């Protein structure tokens, strides 16, 4: 999937989404190519920290703008973080196939979230001015 396919027409959000999906792909490649556990741990830590910070920033933006779909959007963030924790748990348990499947599912979920909830947020912010 190309980076253009995750566009929300908001440059800052788009850049963050590209970093997120790039980290998921880097994680998947590191696990698949059996890179050292320290390399994979570093990518996992970056992905978790980055995703958490991104979601917190988005949620603050929604609160500051009284976004009416805040609750539903925040619940999607919670589901994505749950999937990330599942991925981490699978990796730490040494379950490579579960880790790879969870990484693929996380990437799909992130792209779906971007196309749906994040695009709706962008439209709201654009209309609000």
The CA radius of gyration of the chain, in Å to the nearest whole number, is 15
**Per-residue tokens: 80:** 């994505």
Q: What is the pTM (predicted TM-score) of this model?
A: 0.86
Where along the chain do its domains lie? 7-128
- Contact present, 8 and 122 (Cβ < 8 Å): yes
Q: What is 7-128's CATH superfamily?
A: Hemerythrin-like (1.20.120.50)
pLDDT in tens, the chain (129 residues): 333 444 455 677 778 889 999 999 999 999 999 999 999 999 999 999 999 999 999 999 999 999 999 999 999 999 999 999 989 998 889 888 888 899 999 999 999 999 999 999 999 988 987
């Amino acid at each position: 999937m190309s980076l253009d396919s995750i566009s929300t027409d908001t440059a800052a959000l788009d850049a963050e989404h590209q970093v997120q999906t790039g980290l998921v792909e880097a994680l998947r490649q590191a696990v698949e190519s059996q890179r050292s556990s320290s390399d994979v741990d570093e990518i996992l830590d970056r992905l978790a920290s980055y995703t958490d910070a991104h979601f917190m920033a988005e949620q603050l933006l929604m609160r500051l703008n009284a976004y009416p779909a805040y609750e539903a959007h925040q619940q999607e963030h919670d589901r994505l973080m749950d999937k990330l924790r599942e991925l981490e748990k699978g990796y730490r348990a040494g379950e490579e196939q579960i880790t790879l499947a969870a990484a693929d599912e996380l990437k799909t979920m992130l792209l779906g979230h971007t196309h749906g909830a994040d695009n709706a947020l962008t439209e709201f912010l654009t209309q609000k001015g």
